[in-house]
Amino acid sequence: MIARRELLQRLSALAAAGVVLPLLGSQPLRAADAAATPMLPVTGLSGRVVIVGGGMAGATLAKFLRLWGGSGIQVTLVEQAARYTSNILSNLVLTDTVALGTLQFEYTALRQRYGVTLLTGTAVGADPVSRRLTVDTPAGRQTIAYDRLVLAPGIDFEYPAGLESIAAREAIPHAWKAGPQTSLLRAQIRAIPAGGSFVMTIPAAPYRCPPGPYERACVVADWLKRNRPRARVIVLDANPQIMAERATFERAFGVTHAGVIQYVPNAAISAVDAGTRTVHTTQGSFRGQALNVIPTNIGPGLLRAIGVGNAARGFAAVNVLDYQSTAAAGIHVIGDASATTQPKAGHIGNQEAKVCADAMLRAFGGRAPDPAPVTNSACYSPITLKTASWLTAVYAYDPQSMTMKPVTGATGEAERDTKDHFEDMYTWFRTLMADSYG
Amino acid sequence: MRSSWVFLTALSIAASAHAQTVPPDSGRLLASNCFQCHGTNGQGSGTFERLAGESVAEIYDELVEMRQENDRGEIMTVHAFGYTDTQLRALAGYFARQPRSGGGS
């Protein structure tokens, strides 16, 4: 347990590094950017890398290509949004525990500190033979030449029947990409009356952030207990069982939030009625004052457009030594858009980016990738508005299967959700975001 | 036009291959697994324990001790099982070579 004074010192040091602190309350704490620009190494390497997507994986890759590769590596980051909104901790926006604005991160450090070129626009296609990416920008269509292209576009959704229209998708928010959808769901939850119901659905795996939906059920349940007497949470899971931290969430559903959360496995959606906020599933129909449908996660259309969405559900099959697509030389896919044995989540997306950066820099120097990469996934999940749990796994390359395999003994979850873990969750978040964006 | 561009790219990659002589720092990629919680290059201010500038023995011994005690309620114990002894020494060596910048714990 960190002493309060020490914690404050640590926080102010981080604030000095220009990192936004997601503290309670509505105002993000930003301090002047006092950190010196790091000396980029002289490596003799040169190359042009274009990255599509400024989420956790794409931002980390941009930073580490420059930090490790030096100024001879030209890095262009193509992103539609002006800033990144973190999915991590966004369930706590639903309960007013953190403000959405405090989960937003600018690309300023990547530009100013590391010399990454930002291009605001939407990538629409690429020619793997001439190695050119096509981007629609506010100034018109552009093509950019690359030596290596990295796609980090995250996930897209396959909506169920009934959620075809924009209006229906706003009436029944997924809130699985943090931003306006998170605010929509927050407002719906607040409109639940005493004795009312929050109904949510969990898509079949693989989906982004395996513990995330169960965490959402927990924090909403805790908020309802405190603010809406006798209200209930109904969790409709397309999977046959809890997909992450099973011991933790079985205890949370069965003990901590007993009588509030009803867990229904094997509930596949057949249709949604946005007008009545009803979801029809293989386990029956459920209606709530708030209905949160997290649709099936699929690979974004860009993967298909470029011809690299060659794994199940349109995700990209990659060689996990360098994250190069199995379908196109010179094109890499990292983060949630790739199909690997690793979870789709921000912490491990950050590490996939480092493996990719290292391999790419070796390739620019005529070297083979590291033959034994290791990655890790770690995350803290709030179980109540005051306590959290954790989950971690380390993955090592297995030459036989050519996949990342969990290392024996290096997978585990917290024995209990505690207040200390809740504090550690904020430390983890701030540091992870600083490692990716700062 | 396209073929000449491809040729130029091939040339520039070949040229950079000859110019580049600095191999990647051994241990760096392994050590980067720690950056998410201990700060980029282990320069942890406002993070969990700062690793930059610690000795190889300090980092290695602590991780090995965690494995021996095997307290599964500690996230770092679970994590310590993810690396071989050789890998632990390599990542510890990387942090030992990092200068400590600024204040902090």
Residue A87 and residue A202 in one domain: no
Say yes or no to pLDDT of B45 above 80: no
Interchain proximity A435–B5, CB inside 8 Å? no
Q: Does B44 touch chain A (CB under 8 A)?
A: yes
Domain count for chain A, please give it.
2
Residue A131 and residue A12 in one domain: yes
Give CA angle at A355 (B25, A375), nearest 5°.
105
| Residue at A99: amino acid letter | A
pLDDT digits (tens, 9 = 90+) for A367-396: 999 999 999 999 999 999 999 999 999 999
Cα gap A304→A14, rounded to integer Å: 40
Residue A104 and residue A123 in one domain: yes
CB-closest option in A129, A378, A411 to B36:
A378
CB-closest option in B21, B44, B78 to A411:
B78
Residue A8 and residue A137 in one domain: yes
Give the model's pLDDT for residue A36: 54
Structure tokens at A164: 């075809």
Residue A284 and residue A325 in one domain: no
CATH number at residue A249: 3.50.50.60
Low pLDDT (below 70) residues in chain A: 1-37
Q: In chain B, what are the domains?
A: 25-105 (1.10.760.10)
Last residue of a domain, which of A271, A297, A323?
Answer: A297
pTM score of the predicted model: 0.90
The count of other CB atoms within 10 Å of the CB of residue A270 is 12
| Residue at A323: amino acid letter | Y
Cα gap A299→A314, rounded to integer Å: 5
- Torsion, CA A400, CA A401, CA A402, CA A407, rounded to 10: -90
Residue A124 and residue A13 in one domain: yes
Give the model's pLDDT for residue B18: 43
Residue A85 and residue A181 in one domain: no
The count of other CB atoms within 10 Å of the CB of residue A403 is 13
Range of the domain at A291: 159-297
Interchain proximity A47–B38, CB inside 8 Å? no
- Residue of chain B nearest A63, judged by CA positions: B40
Question: DSSP letters along B39-57, please?
Answer: -GGG--SSSSS--TT--HH
Residues from chain B that touch A248, judged by Cβ atoms under 8 A, are none
Residues from chain A that touch B22, judged by Cβ atoms under 8 A, are 41-44, 365
The answer to whether the Cα torsion of A81, A86, A87, A91 is positive or negative is negative
Structure tokens at A288: 């709530």
* Most A-contacting residue of B18, B45, B70 (CB-CB within 10 A), to test interface: B45
pLDDT digits (tens, 9 = 90+) for A283-298: 999 999 999 999 999 9
Last residue of a domain, which of A264, A297, A330?
Answer: A297
Last residue of a domain, which of A249, A275, A297?
Answer: A297
Average pLDDT value over all residues in chain B: 81
Residue A311 and residue A418 in one domain: yes
Residue A147 and residue A176 in one domain: no
Cβ–Cβ under 8 Å, residues A157 and A295: yes
Residue A98 and residue A238 in one domain: no
pLDDT digits (tens, 9 = 90+) for B22-43: 667 789 999 999 999 999 999 9
- Torsion, CA A337, CA A339, CA A344, CA A346, rounded to 10: -60
Residue A17 and residue A108 in one domain: yes
Cβ–Cβ under 8 Å, residues B32 and B74: no
Residues from chain B that touch A437, judged by Cβ atoms under 8 A, are none
Residue A183 and residue A138 in one domain: no
